[in-house]
Amino acid sequence: MPFEFSHDRELTLQDLPTKQQAVQSALEFVKQIKISWTKGKQYHDQGQVVHTYNTRHGNDFWMARISHHPNPVGKGKKPKADDEITFEVFKEFVLENHTANELKYIPLLNAYRTHENDKTIPEDSPEGWKAYTVHYKFPKLFSDREMAVWVLAVQPDPQVKQFFVISLPSAHTVSTHLTRAVYCAIEVVTFKEEEGHVEWLMAQTSDARGSIPRWIQDKSVTASVAADVPSFIGWASQQIEERKQKKREEKNEEESAVDATAEKAGNAALENNAVGTSHTGAGSVTGAL
């Protein structure tokens, strides 16, 4: 039986689906996006095109975004300079250290903590779920929000270039002086070799609660989530450029060290030649005497 994704139910460790159940249910869920969900606005920002969709499941308003990123490796094409956000880059920055990296490219997200000291609900489950509380900094008119979430980040088959990040509402406590919000999301990143690109799909439902009417939340969430795509691409590109710059600097240092060694060896050879010439000259003078 498929697991039912919703923001309405906050889960304990015992409520969580197995890794296999979560992944299979996620695949079945997102398969319907292009088939039966309502197609929404298409966003163009910083060269990125983001397609959006929405639907309702019970009391939940769901929105989804789908974007495609050139990754021609595997089709016999050589990547261009702007084709550097490959599947491997997504894997490093979205699959690995998922929550910590989100902090760097999602503007409203400004802090998170793990629950390693919470003895009532273990931080990690045998199935790979991890528990976090994330803090969102809201505009001045609204109080900040905290969301407790379970996160499963997994690549089911190492030979298949596809991974999942599944976030479910958690029963962990949040800071008492903040408004408790809830969040459920599915991210699927897939390298599509025939198309020569990486597809980044994300579907989410949430409730900020507090005094923000649901209709305002539903209207504003799509633009906010779509904006995460160019924000991520910009941040990831910066990380790549910084690594390149570091490699260039290291290469320059190595070349400088080699040049310095060669110069030192050359100077030593000149000195040896000068000494040898001096000794030869002295021998000639002695012989003449």
- What values do phi and psi take at 121, rounded to 5? -130, 110
Number of domains the chain contains: 1
Look at residue 219 in the predicted model and tell me its pLDDT.
86
Burial (Cβ within 10 Å: 0-12, 13-18, ≥19) of residue 259? exposed
Hey, how many other C-beta atoms are within 10 angstroms of the C-beta on 127?
15
Is 263 contained in some domain? Answer: no
Look at residue 81 in the predicted model and tell me its pLDDT.
44
Is 178 contained in some domain? Answer: yes
One digit per residue, the tens of pLDDT, for the chain of length 289 reads 789 999 999 999 899 999 999 999 999 999 999 999 999 999 999 889 999 999 999 889 999 999 999 986 554 555 444 457 899 999 999 999 999 999 999 999 999 998 766 555 555 555 789 999 999 998 777 889 999 999 999 999 999 999 999 999 999 989 999 999 999 999 999 999 999 999 999 999 999 998 888 888 888 899 999 999 999 999 999 999 998 888 777 777 776 766 667 667 767 777 777 666 665 555 554 454 4
pTM of the model: 0.82
- The CATH number for 226's domain is 3.30.530.20
Domain span holding position 50: 13-243
How far apart CA 190 and CA 153 sit, in angstroms, is: 14
Look at residue 37 in the predicted model and tell me its pLDDT.
98
Is 279 contained in some domain? Answer: no
Is 80 contained in some domain? Answer: yes
Is 7 contained in some domain? Answer: no
Look at residue 72 in the predicted model and tell me its pLDDT.
64
Look at residue 73 in the predicted model and tell me its pLDDT.
58
Look at residue 117 in the predicted model and tell me its pLDDT.
60
Look at residue 184 in the predicted model and tell me its pLDDT.
98
Look at residue 279 in the predicted model and tell me its pLDDT.
59
Is 276 contained in some domain? Answer: no
Look at residue 190 in the predicted model and tell me its pLDDT.
98
Question: Would you give the end-to-end CA distance of the chain in angstroms?
Answer: 111
- Kindly report the CA angle at 216 between 214 and 219, in degrees rounded to 5? 105
CB 49 within 8 A of CB 43: yes
- Return the sign of the alpha-carbon dihedral for residues 94, 98, 100, 105: positive
Hey, how many other C-beta atoms are within 10 angstroms of the C-beta on 154?
17
Is 258 contained in some domain? Answer: no
Is 131 contained in some domain? Answer: yes
Hey, how many other C-beta atoms are within 10 angstroms of the C-beta on 266?
10
H helix intervals, 15-73: 19-31, 33-36
Helix axes 214-288, 98-105, angle to 10 degrees: 90
Look at residue 288 in the predicted model and tell me its pLDDT.
47
